[in-house]
């Protein structure tokens, strides 16, 4: 602790290393090493070549991978469509209600994830309120369902990760220098022009961070698919969970897990390249 | 032209308001359902379809011992993991903010990486490690896992809060003859305390809510989210909704108190400055 109090790098060469040591050690032992173990488990095949786990991951579960990516992408896009306007309102128009709105956005997520998702089941089931309303408005063919469809799963994913989209967008909008926006108006730019040329580009880092914070957990999630979908909506997380905890085919389970992480890492890097954003969080 | 734009803009902003309110309604729809259905008398085993209003579940929230046990376990895990993660994370944040040192970039990367790894990969890789070590899954492995994912959140939250602080205050205290211990207690801690409190609350909430990572590393122990997972397959009593509502109310209270406290700290800082 003397290292902190003495107030600078001059006095203590070892200070910062002592401070980070416990956390770094914890992350090395329980984050980095497990990933290495996961890699090792994936190639420890009893009968057959080392890559047979990976081969089965692609041949038997390629569809699950595709569906996970598709659902997560849709949830991310819907998250932007729902979250951006709300973040914009909070940053530019909420005035003294800003903090209240921020609180309201976060508050629902202080209830348990699983209970929240189960509540969607209550809303979307065949005798639930959503179907009733849609039937009254004649917006749905009779007998059509919401629960156990892709719509329910994508809706659930969108819902559960929405604050992770709203908060970074809000932060990036909040940081924008208001004088830039005024300058755009002074130069006779209309509201649409000012938004497209000034506000939108400056808020892209927030959209980028939000997209990652939604896409990554959504791809690996299996609760929404399990509670709100049918087996036809199963995502790759269900397979990993099932293979690890029920079937106990560890090489296969580890292979799928490993492929998921590799795919996400590659995707994130490409996305970062595409948007030219260097900072992550 | 100049007269037309304000009208169209007014309409556009009204539309934006309506849209944003609809998004807020979407956010609160399930929450309303959770609270309303805590007053339901379900017909069957599942609290799924509305039947009739009653206070039964609220009058007897601890009716199901397994649910109570699960809640107790979750609170224990959350307390312990928050305590450790908050200490580890705060120390890391201090080091990253206060010192320039070789490897600080690597430390930052190590903090961000767990956030960009899907929970299912975090959980399953930790399980592979424990399986390889032939470790007994249970309380200890749950706490280990929760500390692992909380450290990053704590460190990043505290770092964001204490960036740009005026650390010369510490030097001033030293110059005035305070010993290092007094400096930490009287200057450093009060300065960073709101940040630490926010990070601790976040860590506690994340731990209490974690399902996926816990599922992989819990052995036969059942936390509150794991109980809910089992319940949605077997029997889902309204007491679950009561607990969820209670957690929500507690969070609301904590959130309100922390906002008050922060405003007070800010005001004090402004008065002093």
Tell if the CB–CB gap between B37 and A122 is shorter than 8 Å: yes
Residue B216 confidence (pLDDT): 95
Residue B45 confidence (pLDDT): 82
Distance CA A152, CA B136 (A): 38
Tell if the CB–CB gap between A159 and B156 is shorter than 8 Å: no
Instruction: Please determine, for the modelled complex, whether the ipTM score is greater than 0.95.
Output: no
Q: Which residues of A touch B180 (CB under 8 A)?
A: 1-2, 5-6
- The total of other beta-carbon atoms located within 10 Å of residue B193's CB is 13
Distance CA A198, CA B237 (A): 52
Question: Which residue of A lies nearest to B171 if distances are taken between CA atoms?
Answer: A7
How many alpha carbons lie under 13 Å from residue B135 in its C-beta half-sphere? 19
Residue A4 confidence (pLDDT): 46
Tell if the CB–CB gap between B118 and A260 is shorter than 8 Å: yes
Residue in B28, B100, B215 nearest the CB of A241: B215
User: What CA dihedral angle connects B38, B42, B48 and B53, to 10 degrees?
Assistant: -50
Per-residue pLDDT of chain A (281 residues), as tens digits, is 444 444 444 456 788 899 999 999 999 999 999 999 999 999 988 888 888 889 888 888 999 999 999 999 999 999 999 999 999 999 888 777 888 888 888 888 888 899 999 999 999 988 888 888 888 888 888 788 888 999 999 999 999 999 999 999 998 998 888 888 888 878 877 777 788 888 888 889 899 989 999 999 999 999 999 999 999 999 999 999 999 999 999 999 999 999 999 999 888 888 877 776 544 44
Name residues whose C-beta falls within 8 Å of residue B73's C-beta, 6 or more positions apart in sequence: B139, B221, B222, B223, B224
Q: Which region holds residue A138: left if phi is over 0, alpha if psi is between -120 and 50, else beta?
A: left
Among A8, A21, A27, the residue to mutate for chain B (most B Cβ within 10 A) = A27
Distance CA A203, CA A211 (A): 12
Tell if the CB–CB gap between B31 and A119 is shorter than 8 Å: yes
Tell if the CB–CB gap between B12 and A2 is shorter than 8 Å: no
Question: Which residue of B lies nearest to A164 if distances are taken between CA atoms?
Answer: B115
Q: Which residues of B touch A111 (CB under 8 A)?
A: 30-31, 34, 244-245, 247-248
Residue in B29, B121, B152 nearest the CB of A260: B121
Q: Which residues of A touch B122 (CB under 8 A)?
A: 31, 34
Q: Which residues of A touch B152 (CB under 8 A)?
A: 27
Name residues whose C-beta falls within 8 Å of residue A188's C-beta, 6 or more positions apart in sequence: none
Q: Residues B177-186: pLDDT tens digits? A: 888 888 888 8
Tell if the CB–CB gap between B33 and A253 is shorter than 8 Å: no
Question: Which residue of B lies nearest to A12 if distances are taken between CA atoms?
Answer: B99
Residue in B144, B208, B216 nearest the CB of A30: B144
CA B214 to chain centre: 15
Among B9, B19, B27, the residue to mutate for chain A (most A Cβ within 10 A) = B27
Tell if the CB–CB gap between A23 and B248 is shorter than 8 Å: no
Residue in B34, B48, B92 nearest the CB of A111: B34
Positions in chain B whose pLDDT score sits under 70:
1-5, 265-266, 269-273
Distance CA A253, CA A248 (A): 8
Asked whether the beta carbons of A103 and B255 are under 8 A apart, the reply is yes
Residue A118 confidence (pLDDT): 93
Among A36, A43, A113, A118, the residue to mutate for chain B (most B Cβ within 10 A) = A118
Distance CA A80, CA A96 (A): 25
CA–CA min distance A247, chain B (Å): 14
């Amino acid at each position: 602790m003397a290292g902190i109090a003495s107030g600078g790098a001059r006095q203590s060469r070892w200070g910062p290393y002592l401070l980070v040591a416990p956390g770094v050690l914890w992350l090395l032992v329980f984050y980095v090493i497990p990933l290495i173990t996961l890699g090792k488990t994936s190639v420890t095949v009893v009968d057959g070549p080392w890559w047979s786990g990976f081969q089965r991951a692609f041949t038997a579960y390629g569809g699950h991978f595709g569906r996970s990516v598709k659902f997560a992408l849709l949830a991310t896009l819907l998250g932007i469509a729902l979250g951006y306007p709300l973040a914009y309102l909070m940053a530019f128009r909420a005035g003294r209600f800003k903090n209240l709105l921020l609180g309201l956005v976060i508050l629902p997520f202080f209830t348990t994830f699983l209970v929240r998702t189960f509540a969607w089941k209550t809303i979307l089931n065949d005798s639930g309120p959503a179907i009733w309303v849609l039937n009254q408005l004649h917006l749905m063919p009779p007998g059509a369902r919401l629960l156990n469809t892709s719509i329910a799963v994508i809706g659930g994913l969108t819902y559960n990760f929405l604050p992770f989209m709203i908060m970074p967008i809000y932060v990036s909008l909040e940081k924008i220098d208001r004088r830039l926006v005024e300058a755009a108006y002074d130069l006779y730019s209309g509201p649409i022009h000012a938004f497209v040329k000034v506000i939108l580009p400056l808020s892209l880092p927030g959209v980028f961070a939000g997209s990652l914070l939604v896409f990554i957990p959504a791809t690996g999630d299996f609760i929404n698919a399990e509670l709100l979908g049918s087996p036809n909506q199963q995502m790759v997380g269900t397979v990993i969970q099932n293979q690890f905890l029920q079937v106990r085919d560890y090489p296969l389970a580890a292979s799928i897990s490993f492929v998921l992480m590799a795919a996400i890492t590659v995707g994130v890097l490409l996305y970062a390249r595409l948007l030219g954003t260097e900072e992550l969080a | 032209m100049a007269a037309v734009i304000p009208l169209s803009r007014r309409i556009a902003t009204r539309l934006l308001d309506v849209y944003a309110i609809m998004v807020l309604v979407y956010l609160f729809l399930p929450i309303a359902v959770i609270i309303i259905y805590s007053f339901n008398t379900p017909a069957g085993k599942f609290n799924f379809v509305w039947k009739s209003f009653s206070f039964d579940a609220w009058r007897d929230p601890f009716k199901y011992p397994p649910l109570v046990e699960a809640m107790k376990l979750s609170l224990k895990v959350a307390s312990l993991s928050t305590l450790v993660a908050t200490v580890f994370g705060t120390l890391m944040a201090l080091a990253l903010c206060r010192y320039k040192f070789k490897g600080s970039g690597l430390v930052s990367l190590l903090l961000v990486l767990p956030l960009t790894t899907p929970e299912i990969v975090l959980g399953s890789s930790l399980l592979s490690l424990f399986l390889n070590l032939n470790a007994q899954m249970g309380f200890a492995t749950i706490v280990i896992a929760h500390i692992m994912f909380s450290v990053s959140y704590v460190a990043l939250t505290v770092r964001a809060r204490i960036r740009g602080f005026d650390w010369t205050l510490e030097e001033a205290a030293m110059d005035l003859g305070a010993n290092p211990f007094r400096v930490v207690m009287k200057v450093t801690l009060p300065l960073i305390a709101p940040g630490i409190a926010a990070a601790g609350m976040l860590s506690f909430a994340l731990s209490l809510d974690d399902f996926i990572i816990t599922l992989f590393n819990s052995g036969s122990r059942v936390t509150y989210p794991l109980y809910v997972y089992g319940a949605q397959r077997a029997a889902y009593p309204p007491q679950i909704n009561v607990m969820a509502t209670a957690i929500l109310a507690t969070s609301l209270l904590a959130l309100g108190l922390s906002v008050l406290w922060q405003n007070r700290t800010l005001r004090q800082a402004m008065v002093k400055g």
